[in-house]
Amino acid sequence: MEIEQQGSSTKQGTSSEQQDAMTGRAGDVAGLIRRVRRLAKLSQRDLAQELGVSQSAVAKWETGRTTPGARMMVRVLELVELELAAVRRDGERVRPMREGAARDAAGRRYPAHTYVWAQGWWAPEGSETTSWYSAILARSEDLDLPRVRYSTWWQLGRRPTLADVADHPTWEELVAEAREGWRPPRRNVLPIPEWAYADSRKSRNRRAGSFPILPHEVRIGRGAGLFWQAPAETRGGTDAPRQ
């Protein structure tokens, strides 16, 4: 194969990309780069200058000796108003996973290969047997903090959604799913201080014993409950919006 590099010829590589260049099949990176040069009427030297690389780098791409990275390939295609896309063999385009999908309390994405869903409202592990379990569930509902689960196995009894099949749900979708399920009882007096709203993200990282609940009994009819009270050092509130 002749290469347009100052009239000289370059030795062919043996990579699969070079085989694509000879067969001209779809997905041929070397052929796409040459197509861009043809559409843009650019020589190898011109393309190299546009991209800020050496002419020899372009020559190696076109022979299949090396392959540009994904970001570089995007830049190459953008020169002629093309974009990088993934297409199934039947021609259907595959979209990237959504950027706005829900994340965990540390800001990390949930594993891409798993199903993600809401299982009621959040409470720290081990709090199910405590007397304030309903209170923390009610607080989580007020703060839009669902209990998020993820697994490689489908959860029995759940209705499938588009997000289950094609993507991960957004945080708003998880909140909506939690609201469709069981709602915690509201028998307890539960004033939510402003400092708690600002703490909504950090709350998901806390353990059962770190919640500022003081064991003051509130008599309501025959029942008794617990109510929230901020520690003295954190009282005073904040104007932070609900998250």
- 27-46 residue pLDDT tens: 589 999 999 999 999 999 99
d(CA 148, CA 121): 8
- 226 SS3 class: strand
Residue 226: pLDDT band (50, 70, 90) is: very low
Token code pair at residue 89: 């063999």
Q: CB under 8 Å to 18, separation ≥6 — which residues?
A: 12, 30, 63, 64, 65
Q: CB under 8 Å to 41, separation ≥6 — which residues?
A: none
Domain count, the chain: 2
Residue 66: pLDDT band (50, 70, 90) is: very high
Q: Supply the pLDDT for residue 11.
A: 40
- Do 49 and 156 lie in one domain? The reply is no
Which residue reads 């009282």 in tokens?
Answer: 235
pLDDT in tens, 104-113: 888 999 999 9
Q: Supply the pLDDT for residue 6.
A: 32
Q: Lowest-pLDDT range, 105-109, 145-149, 199-203? A: 199-203
Instruction: Examine residue 63 and state whether it is found in any structural domain, yes or no.
Output: yes
Instruction: Examine residue 182 and state whether it is found in any structural domain, yes or no.
Output: yes
Mean pLDDT of 84-110: 89
Whether the pTM exceeds 0.85: the reply is no
Mean pLDDT of 203-209: 53
Instruction: Examine residue 44 and state whether it is found in any structural domain, yes or no.
Output: yes
Q: Lowest-pLDDT range, 25-29, 103-107, 194-198, 216-220? A: 216-220
- 136 SS3 class: helix
219: pLDDT strictly greater than 60: no
Instruction: Examine residue 173 and state whether it is found in any structural domain, yes or no.
Output: yes
Q: Supply the pLDDT for residue 112.
A: 92
Instruction: State the maximum Cα–Cα separation within the chain, in Å, rounded to a whole number.
Output: 96
d(CA 155, CA 150): 9
The residue with greater pLDDT, 126 or 162, is 126
Residue 203: pLDDT band (50, 70, 90) is: low
- Partners of 10 in the β-ladder: none
- 87 SS3 class: strand
Taking the C-alpha atoms of 186, 192, 196 and 200 in order, what is their torsion angle to the nearest 10 degrees?
A: 40
Residue 109 and residue 150 in contact, taking contact as beta carbons nearer than 8 Å: no
- Do 90 and 119 lie in one domain? The reply is no
- Do 220 and 128 lie in one domain? The reply is yes
Q: Supply the pLDDT for residue 202.
A: 55
d(CA 32, CA 30): 5
243: pLDDT strictly greater than 70: no
Q: Which domain holds residue 68?
A: 16-94
d(CA 66, CA 61): 5
